[in-house]
């Protein structure tokens, strides 16, 4: 029996420096037949022009993997994923991110685990890079994956594959959902009785996240999105957020302990301890603050009846 066509989709906004490595990795997939659909989401750094160099001519029989390039105004990742989903021809539709490098057997491994499932998700390994932020990101992601079971409730955005007909019938990716679209889609599938399998051998490598500012922005948006998920999909436990509560509540005992020290210990010693401890766990404290801010924004969304952000 012939293997079904699988469509790989990827979106980019101002990520020209990542395009060639990502597209090279996608074209190196061992699974066949494949098609690749890349969407430029209103880039201003030449990404669209660079993507065009990868496009194959329609009907080109010499192209082993057809590659189609689409463009749109800067509408967001969900809108881009949906645009690619709607024109895809594959029985399965895979998603990844432009700053990822799927290993050659990524699709092959996921398809081998796909029987009877609505989605299959792989494993993302972050490069540790050379900064404290990149090491923090790499190690926390590795910790999250370490305890995952085979049946999960989140098909992670950089490394997943969906049964196309089922995904479309459940609304696809919501264009009003600007961040954590993988959470939203996964909850739709689970709520409709679908099943997501985790395949740890389907590996995607992610470039290092070095910027503290971007890291905190993403964690803030994660918390805001998670608040919406908890409001909209009550009773469904998200299996990929176990670090959130630990990090969020780090800020509370730290502030309480500092207040106790200020009131009961020598001011010089107290000041020195607070300064040194803050330096040591600075990134974690900022992460915790970002989560609280995102949660607050999510609560405001709920009060105002907002669904997107």
Q: Give per-residue pLDDT as tens, 256-281.
A: 666 666 677 667 666 665 565 666 67
Distance of alpha carbon 123 from alpha carbon 145, whole angstroms: 7
pTM of the prediction?
A: 0.88
When pLDDT is cut at 50, 70 and 90, the band that residue 296 belongs to is: very high
pLDDT over 70, % of the chain: 84
Residues 6+ apart with CB under 8 A from 92: 4, 6, 7, 111, 114, 161, 162, 163, 164
196-206 confidence digits (pLDDT tens): 999 999 999 99
Domains in the chain, CATH or no CATH each: 6-210 (3.90.550.10), 212-309 (no CATH)
In terms of average pLDDT, the best of 36-50, 219-233, 272-286 is 36-50
120-172 confidence digits (pLDDT tens): 999 999 999 999 889 989 999 999 899 899 999 999 999 999 999 999 999 99
Q: What is the mean pLDDT of residues 283-290?
A: 87
Looking at residue 275, what is its pLDDT?
63
Decide: 89 and 5 in contact? Cβ < 8 Å. yes
Distance of alpha carbon 195 from alpha carbon 238, whole angstroms: 13
Q: What is the mean pLDDT of the chain?
A: 88
Looking at residue 35, what is its pLDDT?
97
CB atoms within 10 A of CB 206: 19
State in Å, rounded, how far the first CA of the chain is from the last one. Answer: 45
81-132 confidence digits (pLDDT tens): 999 999 999 999 999 999 999 999 999 999 999 999 999 999 999 999 999 8
Distance of alpha carbon 95 from alpha carbon 25, whole angstroms: 13
């Amino acid at each position: 029996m012939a293997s079904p066509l699988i469509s790989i989709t990827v979106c980019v906004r101002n990520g020209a420096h990542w395009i060639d490595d990502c597209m090279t990795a996608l074209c190196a997939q061992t699974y066949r037949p494949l098609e690749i659909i890349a969407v430029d989401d209103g880039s201003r750094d030449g990404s669209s022009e660079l993507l065009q160099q990868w496009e194959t001519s329609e009907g080109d029989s010499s192209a082993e993997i057809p590659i189609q390039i689409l463009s749109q105004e800067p509408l967001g990742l969900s809108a881009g994923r949906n645009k690619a989903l709607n024109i895809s021809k594959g029985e399965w539709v895979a998603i990844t991110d432009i700053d990822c490098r799927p290993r050659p057997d990524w699709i092959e491994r996921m398809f081998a685990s796909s029987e009877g499932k609505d989605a299959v998700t792989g494993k993302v390994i972050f490069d540790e890079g050379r900064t404290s932020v990149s090491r923090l990101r790499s190690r926390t992601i590795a910790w999250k994956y370490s305890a995952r079971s085979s049946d999960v409730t989140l098909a992670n955005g950089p490394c997943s594959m969906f049964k196309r007909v089922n995904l479309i019938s459940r609304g696809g990716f919501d264009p009003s959902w600007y961040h954590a679209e993988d959470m939203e889609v996964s909850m739709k599938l689970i709520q409709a009785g679908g099943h997501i399998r985790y395949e740890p051998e389907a590996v995607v490598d992610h470039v290092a996240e070095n910027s503290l500012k971007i890291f905190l922005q993403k964690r803030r948006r994660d918390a805001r999105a998670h608040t919406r998920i908890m409001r909209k999909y009550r009773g469904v436990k998200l299996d990929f957020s176990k670090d959130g509560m630990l990090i969020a509540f780090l800020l509370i005992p730290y502030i309480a302990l500092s207040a106790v020290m200020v009131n009961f210990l020598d001011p010089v010693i107290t000041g020195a301890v607070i300064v040194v401890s803050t330096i040591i766990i600075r990134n974690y404290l900022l992460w915790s603050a970002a989560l609280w801010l995102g949660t607050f924004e999510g609560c405001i969304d709920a009060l105002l009846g907002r669904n997107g952000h």
